[in-house]
Chain A
Amino acid sequence: MVVAAVGVLAVVSLFVGVSTVTPATLLAQDAQALLVLLVSRLPRTLAVLLAGAAMAVAGMIMQMLARNRFVEPSTAGTVESAVLGILVVTVLSPGAPLMVKMLVASTFALAGTALFLRLLAFVPLRSVLVVPLVGLMLGGVIGAVTTFFAYRLDLLQSLASWTTGDFSGVLRGRYELLWITLALTVVAYLAADRFTLAGMGSDLTTNLGMSYRTVMTLGLVIVSMVSAVVVVTVGVIPFLGLVVPNVVSLMLGDNMRRTAPWVAVLGAGFVLVCDLVGRVVRHPYEVPVGVVVGVVGSALFLALLLRRGSRAA
């Protein structure tokens, strides 16, 4: 049923926008409408679905790896590191193809996330709330470095476009990198049991005959690449990886084999709704999806924090 609802929304998304594209105009073989559909609307809808599903799953993996409910790529320094990576590649090699930018951003994201996990090892009291705070602080420091250099190099405007998730610029030929996230999400699903095990800690993982380090590395690579691809193509979508997995966890628990499909579908649906809202709310202008998700997501995040924080403490 949820899948059907997301499907319906996806179809709706194809017909919402400034130029008039309706089933009627398509049936009338309106060449203009067909062009808009194929070049803009369809890529946009696909991009929303891919990015939403992948970021939500990445958030869930992050929570397993850090063994904490309140981390996700945008509260663990991952996304900020990816942005720093894009800045570096933009400055050093402005004409680099998107693929190269993505790989550099992935590498930075990987390093940033690894640093976060290293830092956690030094935090003596790993209370539920300290972990995301460490991540937010790390992200803040990395973000400040990025902003400083962007300011000095007159790149603040580009920076804003990377840090605010926005699907309005998605056109055919400029989103295809996102298919990589689908592949990564599938890999994440195939390795779901390993991530669930990693969420049980290194002793239990070792006891059951798996290399904790290997699982951690696989998870870090998936999370970093997904974050980098999404940041490079559409920008940061905050809180998504936090809200969706937590809601699913409350309903169905954390056995990733069972919950990953739900997280993916709900993540896609959540971003789709936010993107639609952003497109409709002050038509014919748009509110970037990052802003809508940020507003809705942070409210939900607070609600979860108060609810879960009180129970875990």
Chain B
Amino acid sequence: MIEVTGATKSYGDLRVLDDVHLRLPRGGVTALIGANGAGKSTLLSCMSRLLHLDAGAVTVDGLDVSTTRGDVLARRLATLRQDNHLTARLTVRDLVTFGRYPHSKGRATADDLVHVERSLRFLDLEDLADRFLDELSGGQRQRAFVAMVLCQDTDYVLLDEPLNNLDLKHAVAMMRLLRRAADELGATVVVVLHDINVAACYADHVVAMRDGVVVHEGSPEQVMQTHVLREVFDLDLRVHRIDGRLVALHVA
């Protein structure tokens, strides 16, 4: 379980997280949604100890992320930020192999290499495995980073907008993959998503944020309602049920 208590974070005068309390049980896919600047990414970064809170605490299975040893957490929780720019020239396989670092400390065993190959296959990267990252498109690179994170083989996977740069086909593949990671491998997946329809379709649990506060949380059915979405996005969105799925129309 990830437990956030009283999380507060400011940049200068701007309070990006304002006393956030949140409990995310183990298993399943949780989507963090909200407008730009609502604090989703900051919350995710704080949960994964990439940012330090000004006040409050985050625990993962009872371990406080700000005090637990880095390598202990790295075997439990993997995370990926939105923009990952590398100056180092690495091959896709090198990068994915680094995902095993918390387990192998740089001396990859046969078991580690099995994980690497599986991740490459999962993300449809086998043909690109020996290419350098700077020779790939943005979407291919994004998949390589996700492959690295999955290769870490952790109970918790926290991703900030993993659909960035992905075309429709790979975006769908990515969400299905995260679904499988939760269903088959028992991982707890937390993703920041822009598209509420994607969130409604693939997540078990939706957390909606606005101005640094969690304004709603619940199942997709509970969140995908016109009055809730108005509160989150300041937009009147009509929600339809199409082929059994909830879809909010935001183009009309």
Residues of chain A touching chain B, judged by Cβ–Cβ distance below 8 Å, are: 64, 67-69, 192-193, 196-197, 199-201, 203-204, 206-211, 249, 253-255, 257
State whether A199 touches B50 (Cβ < 8 A).
Answer: no
State whether B90 touches A207 (Cβ < 8 A).
Answer: no
Enumerate the 10 nearest inter-chain pairs by beta-carbon distance, A residue then B residue, closest first: A209-B74, A209-B71, A199-B88, A193-B106, A254-B88, A253-B89, A209-B70, A209-B102, A254-B89, A208-B101
Give A209 to B98 CA distance when docked, in angstroms. Answer: 11
**B153 CB → nearest A CB, Å:** 12
State whether A193 touches B101 (Cβ < 8 A).
Answer: yes
Give A167 to B90 CA distance when docked, in angstroms. Answer: 36
Question: Is B75 in contact with chain A by the CB < 8 A criterion?
Answer: yes
The CB with the most chain B CB atoms within 10 A, among A209, A210, A249, is that of A209
Interfacial chain B residues near A196, Cβ < 8 Å:
88, 90, 98
State whether B48 touches A200 (Cβ < 8 A).
Answer: no
Give A200 to B72 CA distance when docked, in angstroms. Answer: 20
Residues of chain B touching chain A, judged by Cβ–Cβ distance below 8 Å, are: 48-50, 69-75, 78-81, 84-91, 94, 98-99, 101-102, 105-106, 132, 149, 152
State whether A208 touches B90 (Cβ < 8 A).
Answer: no
State whether B50 touches A69 (Cβ < 8 A).
Answer: no
B48's nearest neighbour on chain A, judged by CB, is A207
The secondary structure that dominates the A interface is loop
A205's nearest neighbour on chain B, judged by CB, is B70
Give A208 to B84 CA distance when docked, in angstroms. Answer: 14
Give A211 to B90 CA distance when docked, in angstroms. Answer: 21
Interfacial chain B residues near A203, Cβ < 8 Å:
50, 79, 81, 84
Asked if A200 meets B88 with Cβ closer than 8 Å, knowing A209-B101, A210-B71, the reply is yes
A208's nearest neighbour on chain B, judged by CB, is B101
Interfacial chain B residues near A253, Cβ < 8 Å:
89-91, 94, 132
Give A257 to B105 CA distance when docked, in angstroms. Answer: 12
Interfacial chain B residues near A201, Cβ < 8 Å:
84-86
Give A196 to B74 CA distance when docked, in angstroms. Answer: 17
Q: Pick the residue among A68, A192, A209, A255 that contacts B90 (CB under 8 A).
A: A255
Asked if A255 meets B50 with Cβ closer than 8 Å, knowing A197-B101, A209-B70, A209-B71, the reply is no
**A130 CB → nearest B CB, Å:** 14
Q: Pick the residue among B75, B84, B85, B91 that contacts A209 (CB under 8 A).
A: B75
State whether A208 touches B89 (Cβ < 8 A).
Answer: no
State whether A254 touches B90 (Cβ < 8 A).
Answer: yes
Interfacial chain B residues near A69, Cβ < 8 Å:
87
Give A140 to B101 CA distance when docked, in angstroms. Answer: 40
Interfacial chain A residues near B132, Cβ < 8 Å:
253
Interfacial chain A residues near B79, Cβ < 8 Å:
203, 207
**B69 CB → nearest A CB, Å:** 8
14 extra interchain contacts, Cβ-Cβ under 8 A, other than A67-B88, A253-B89, A253-B132? Answer: A64-B88, A69-B87, A192-B106, A193-B105, A199-B86, A199-B88, A203-B84, A204-B84, A204-B98, A206-B49, A207-B50, A209-B75, A210-B74, A255-B90
User: Could you write out 19 A-B pairs with CB less than 8 Å apart?
Assistant: A67-B88, A196-B98, A199-B88, A200-B86, A200-B90, A201-B86, A204-B98, A206-B70, A207-B74, A207-B78, A207-B80, A207-B149, A209-B69, A209-B71, A209-B73, A210-B101, A253-B94, A254-B88, A255-B91
State whether B84 touches A255 (Cβ < 8 A).
Answer: no
